[in-house]
Amino acid sequence: MGNSKYSNRYSNEFKAQVIEFYKTHTVSDTVSKFNIGRKSIANWCIELGFSKGCSKFKSDFKHEVCQYYDNHTWFETCEKFAISSSTLCQWRRELGYRNKSLGYNLYMEGLQPTVQKRERRDFVMTKMENGDLKGQIVELQKVVNDMSLDNQWLKDKLTRIADAIKTMEV
């Protein structure tokens, strides 16, 4: 873990204090207050599992770029949306899009084995919606069963009436 001479220079409590301050302030403010380097802050964030989340692009835009790339080359996509190719690859990986560059043919999807996409924060609501839909399916199945029982009862009743009419005629 880095140079052994400097690896234990700061205590874990100090590192945690710096990161807590950094959560609500800029890097420049943190550097000037604690008199430490930017790289130290970045390393401590990684070490303590904190991510500031400074993406300037919205999720809708990322999806639009990834979907555009499905039908265009990476060069066309990067030029049109003014992003780097590594950013495009990162977004596709994060959002669960398949990687075209590995020879996967998007137009032969029916012949490919199904691959489960990784879940992302944008799709958390779908689990709740999935549960609601399952509940609605159960309710509809009950209604269908009740209707089929009613239908059978009516069918039996009509059959008895028809039999009664036949016996009266004879």
| Shared-domain flag, residues 107 and 128 | no
Amino acid identity, position 152: Q
CA distance 101 to 110: 19
Report yes or no: 86 and 57 within 8 Å, Cβ to Cβ.
no
| Shared-domain flag, residues 49 and 64 | no
Please indicate, yes or no, if residue 118 is contained in any of the structural domains: no
pLDDT in tens, 109-128: 554 445 455 555 555 556 66
| Shared-domain flag, residues 1 and 49 | yes
How many structural domains is the chain composed of?
A: 3
Q: What is the pLDDT of residue 155?
A: 94
| Shared-domain flag, residues 47 and 63 | no
45 has a pLDDT exceeding 60 = yes
pLDDT in tens, 82-102: 888 888 888 888 777 776 765
Report yes or no: 78 and 84 within 8 Å, Cβ to Cβ.
yes
pTM of the model: 0.34
Q: In percent, how much of the chain has pLDDT > 90?
A: 17
